[in-house]
Chain A
């Protein structure tokens, strides 16, 4: 009897079944609730295992749609997004999404099928060297050599993707490995990654130095990036800025770290940042960067960036500190741990009253502005303000890249964190709509609005099938200016209005397109129509698509031209 018991215990330590069964079981152990994917030859065994398994699978209509949806899911839920695609073209169709997740630090675990181990390297049917292809755009990648390694690799992949600075991890699974029968794999024990030990606790002395710099400063400024969101540190951040009365600005991806209406919030900084935020960066004497990577779209010309400031940089990734901006006080740490430490050390608040008054004066003199004109039609900024009004700033908003993205960033003031899903680093057209699907699946009870351009939407519109199939109440708002807005704006500004290939005069009837997918479609051309239609669409529990015709030649302002410093904004005042 005793012997039998022992045998029983030993088998419980193992995962049994086919390679694919072991793979799916390992995903269950990671508490994966949803998989975004698309089947194909090399992943047939995995899909067969999924067929008898309760993990929900969302069948996108293109692998790029699947991975952007997974990114949207990860962004709002904080959990790694899981993707499966087949070998060759299935895998290469994921590349844009993997690169996007890498640049924006989104946790993903991506499974790609691979041809059978024996024929790898022979240019077999649907073979692509996805390990080689994704090596520079992943946090890490694996090719599985033995089915018995699957539980360990999957455990490590989730750990790597979601800890430290999050990012995408690719696991390439040859078909013979997933198809292998009678696999008995050890359950993974402790994670053993000697080369991966992210520092999360801040160095005490560095914190002391930061405190001293802040105490002595007269014009401190906080720049908060997506690292604050990834660390779920928004409450600590708010407490810190309120306690010490330090004004705050955001990167594009950092929006939502602070309530958009907070009196200490100066708006977004950077190329299309507010006058107040950009001048604050130029004038501040201490710049405390928490979880932002000093991207070139934020800093403008580095020679003119924060010239008067002592820079303190808190980042979980040491390689980001000092990469672009010389840093006086580097602090390698998780944003939450660092902020907690800063809160635990009581220190004398700097006297920022005069500084805050100056910033307030700037905001009053140079607010974000546009000139509405009934004759010209709907301005895109008005459309976003209308969406903001109707959703009370509570919606999850997703975007592509370009003009509509900048207007959404400027005019949609978020009440809460983790409601803003945009492609920042890679600037991917076609990201916003599938990302909205993933976000809606993560937050079924929240309002999700995909604000997209007419051109970007057409890059991934096939995912309308998912709204049709699942009746997800995503609202797709196409800010339709019948052109590639940002390309056109740059051609106007820097290429003497030579609109080379940016004016798209032919496009589908988006209302009929929506109807073809059994989705309510609307077209609006005036603000009166927009108010009525948006209200109706947002009330409904059904998906909706709104073709919102906007003024074609409207530009995003203020703007820092490429190569210029943040002190050289144009379009600050609209005449």
Chain B
């Protein structure tokens, strides 16, 4: 099952290596990872999407992350109301003949053109991973020259609709 996990870490050299190394050592598969500074100086936040087999493995993952000295906080926010965003840059083959057709597809995604040449247009699209997947799928028939994604960044929403059970870190 896919889980979204956020960790607050002390922004020290090697901390990213430590966390990803731990996931590798314990045989967890990272699907996406994003790291950046937070509102607190010296603190960074990492957001992972990982594939875990079952609840037991998930509990292990959370506990092993928590055990790291540089890791301050670990949260599995999968079952919470969250804001989840990812950014993708997609370079699409768009010769003048099909350009307006492509633009009409792009529009509902609110993607923007960030670079353009005679036959190739680069779009920037943001949203949750499903939206980005859908966008990429629609662009595929035209020919994607290059694609890069930032990985997911996520927050828990201020208002939680239902009380989602959270895995207890002892």
Q: Nearest Cβ distance between residue A152 and chain B, in whole angstroms? A: 13
Which residues from 44 to 74 on chain B have a C-beta closer than 8 Å to any C-beta of chain A? Answer: 56, 59-60, 63-64, 66-72
Question: A194-B72, A318-B66 known; A131 and B170 CB under 8 Å?
Answer: no
Q: Which of B1-58 contact A (CB under 8 A)?
A: 9-10, 13-14, 17-18, 21-22, 25, 56
Min CB distance, B70 to chain A, in Å?
6
Complex CA gap A135/B68 in Å reads: 11
User: CB-defined interface of B67-109 with A at 8 Å, one 1/0 digit per residue?
Assistant: 1111110000000000000000000000000000000000000
Partner of B71, one of A139, A195, A321: A195
B contact residues, total (Cβ < 8 Å): 23
Which residue of chain A has its CB nearest to the CB of B22? Answer: A136
Q: Flag whether B134 is at the interface (Cβ < 8 A).
A: no
Closest Cβ of chain B to A109, distance in Å, is: 14
> Which residues of B sit under 8 angstroms from A494, Cβ to Cβ?
none
Q: How large is the interface on A (under 10, 10 to 19, 20 to 34, 35 or more residues)?
A: 20 to 34
Q: How far is the CA of A199 from the CA of B59 in the complex (A)?
A: 18
Task: Check if B72 sits within 8 Å of A136, measured CB to CB.
Answer: no
Measured between C-beta atoms, what is the minimum distance from A398 to chain B in Å? 29
**Contact A140–B69 (Cβ < 8 Å):** yes
Q: How far is the CB of B73 from chain A (nearest CB, A)?
A: 8
Binary CB contact string for chain A from 291 to 325 against chain B (1 if under 8 A, 0 otherwise): 00000000000000000000000000111011100
* A318 contacts across to B, CB distance below 8 A: 63, 66-67, 169-170
Shortest C-beta distance, A430 to chain B (Å), equals 24
CA distance A136 to B68 in the complex (A): 11
Chain A residues with CB below 8 A from B72, complex form: 194-195
Known: A195-B71, A318-B170, A330-B170. A143 touches B66 (CB 8 A): no
Which of B138-170 touch A at CB < 8 Å?
Answer: 169-170
Provide the residues of chain A in CB contact with B25, threshold 8 Å.
Answer: 136
Q: Given A135-B21, A160-B69, A330-B170, do A322 and B59 touch, yes or no (CB 8 Å)?
A: yes
Contact B60 A323, beta carbon cutoff 8 Å: yes
Residue on A nearest B62 in the bound complex, by CB: A319
Contact A131 B70 (CB under 8 A): no
- Bound complex: CA A160 to CA B68 (Å): 11
Q: Which residue of A lies closest to B61 (CB)?
A: A319
Chain A residues whose CB sits within 8 angstroms of the CB of B63 once the complex forms:
318-319
The verdict on A135 contacting B18 (CB below 8 Å), with A143-B13, A322-B56 known, is yes
List A518-542 residues whose CB lies under 8 Å from chain B. Answer: none
Q: State A332–B169 Cα separation when bound (angstroms).
A: 11
Q: A319-B60, A319-B63, A332-B170 are in contact. Are A132 and B17 (CB under 8 A)?
A: yes
Report the bound CA distance from A195 to B9 in whole Å: 8
Give chain A residues whose Cβ lies under 8 Å from the Cβ of B71.
195
A196 to B69, CA, bound (A): 5
A-chain residues with CB within 8 Å of residue B64 when the two chains form the complex: 319
Query: In the bound complex, what is the Cα–Cα distance between A334 and B64 (angstroms)?
Result: 18
Q: What does the 1/0 interface line of A126-137 toward B look like (CB < 8 Å)? A: 000001100110
* A330 and B21 alpha carbons, distance in the complex (Å): 28
Query: Smallest distance from the beta carbon of B52 to chain A beta carbons, Å?
Result: 14
A193: interface (CB < 8 Å): yes
Q: Output the nearest chain B residue to A145 by Cβ-Cβ distance.
A: B13
CB contact list, A313-361 vs B, under 8 A: 317-319, 321-323, 330, 332
Would you list 11 pairs from A and B whose C-beta atoms are within 8 A, ordered by A residue? A135-B14, A135-B17, A136-B22, A143-B14, A145-B13, A194-B10, A196-B69, A318-B170, A322-B60, A323-B60, A330-B170
Inter-chain pairs besides A145-B13, A160-B69, A319-B66, 14 sampled, C-beta below 8 Å: A132-B17, A136-B22, A143-B13, A195-B68, A195-B69, A195-B70, A195-B72, A196-B69, A317-B67, A318-B63, A318-B67, A318-B169, A319-B67, A322-B60
Q: Which 7 A-B pairs have the closest CB atoms?
A: A319-B63, A318-B170, A140-B69, A195-B72, A196-B69, A136-B25, A332-B170
